[in-house]
Amino acid sequence: MKNINKKLQILVLLPLIAMQFNCGSSTNASKNTGKVASWITTTDETSKLKQQPELVFTSETNSNQTIEVNPSEKFQTIEGFGFSLTGGSAQAIKKLDKPKREALLQELFSRKNDAIGLSYLRISIGASDLNEKVFSYDDMPEGQTDLKLEHFNLGPDLDDVIPVLKEILAINPKIKIMGSPWSPPVWMKDNGSSKGGSLQPKYYQVYAEYFVKYIQAMKSHGIVIDAITPQNEPLHPGNNPSLLMLAEQQADFIGNHLGPAFAKAGIKTKIIVYDHNCNKPEYPLTILKDPKANPFVTGSAFHLYEGDISALTTVHNAFPNKDLYFTEQYTGTGTNFETDLKWSVKNVVIGSMRNWSKNALSWGLANDEFYKPFTPGGCSTCKGALMIDQNQNIKREVGYYIIGHASKFVPEGSVRIGSNIVGNLHNVSFKTPLGQIVLIVENDGTSTETFNIKYNQKQTSTSLNAGAVATYVW
């Protein structure tokens, strides 16, 4: 009789034990079922980051081309995906009524429901060319200087960028923020203008203290600057504002002034060099080879208006202990959804990740229906990820989907893992901190491609329209 009771107890307990195993994390459940979730954006805009019917891994084989994901092959750890919160972007967002603004910021920066989980922002130190006017944090009357930076203040940023950042930080306190200046105060420059010119060596130390004051001032508002670059696009002095800063000048500035100033002030903010196009990898290499600058430099940042994305790997191979970042690429009024989707996902998202970048950022987050604001001589064709018109209508532009295909699924702390490129199917894969596998694929061909996704000796078959982008998660 006792044996019968024991058997009955075991029979009763077995379903409960099974339930405990099945009620683990959603990641484990997904692995157990062998199902693959997917989201697709098509060039004809009929599907925009739209979830598709589930795929299933099986043991069946076929002759399709195959993308094999290899989790044992590990590369860089990811810091995030996002945009630049320009002064103009902050203005466009801030003018929304509070309920609409709160809903939009939740959609952009949270990881709940249909949000896209942006995890990295770049902001300008002073004005960028997507501000309504040019300013620095220490503007002085012509002919006057401020060597002790007694007039330093955050100026117009107090009205737009800082309030919006505080709302974003309330949603995602861990978001990473990078600061980049377009120009120092004009009294420090050899041409006395916000456009072009060079930083006078006699002001290198004062300018280093300017960065220290900036980081401390932002911290006083609860905003931690994770990284800075000494100059946005240092080889493009034709913008307004802008500055010409050659590699040797940047090495001198960092090694003898900025790095020591950060060390003295106890500032842990990363110093990232270059912040310009992929056609000049010799620029960051010059700085990294400088014995004084090198110890202060965390890594190098790139844009892709010229050159090839493989420049990041060139720098990585020379200095594998230094990080790589991809910090800007615009979408413009002169192209269309199809062209921008294909090119940017292939190069900015997949390309930067496959070439060791720890982040991928597009340019402005938002603007109005006239692509404003911008400075006199600034970019009049830069299209934000969002267009917010005077009636508070919000249009999600192509940039939203380019970055969303990564940011929504690949959180900070994910690790890039191995995957092979086959034919026209450019791709990159990741393992998230929760153990999910994410595969982003772009069909760069002119016709629909049928292919397999292979993982742990099992595979599933699917297809992708010409130019379309898909994110697969399991």
Residues 6+ apart with CB under 8 A from 195: 183, 237, 238, 239, 240, 241, 242, 377
Q: Are 212 and 125 in contact (CB under 8 A)?
A: no
* Residue 463, CA atoms < 13 Å, CB-side half-sphere: 6
Q: Element (H or E) spanning 473, and its range?
A: strand 469-473
Q: Are 235 and 283 in contact (CB under 8 A)?
A: yes
Residue 322: closest CA among 390, 252, 271, 365: 271
Six token digits for residue 391? 């009636």
Give the DSSP per-residue string, 277-318.
EET-THHHHHHHT-TTTGGGEEEEEEEEEEE-TTHHHHHHHH
Active-site residues: which are they? 233, 328
Residues 6+ apart with CB under 8 A from 37: 30, 51, 54, 472, 473, 474
Residues 6+ apart with CB under 8 A from 181: 124, 125, 126, 230, 231, 232, 243
Inter-helix orientation angle 87-94/161-171, to 10° = 70
Handedness of CA 103, 109, 111, 115 (dihedral sign): positive
Residues 6+ apart with CB under 8 A from 23: none
Whether the upstream peptide bond of residue 373 has omega within 30° of 0, thus cis, is: yes
How many residues can be counted in the chain? 474
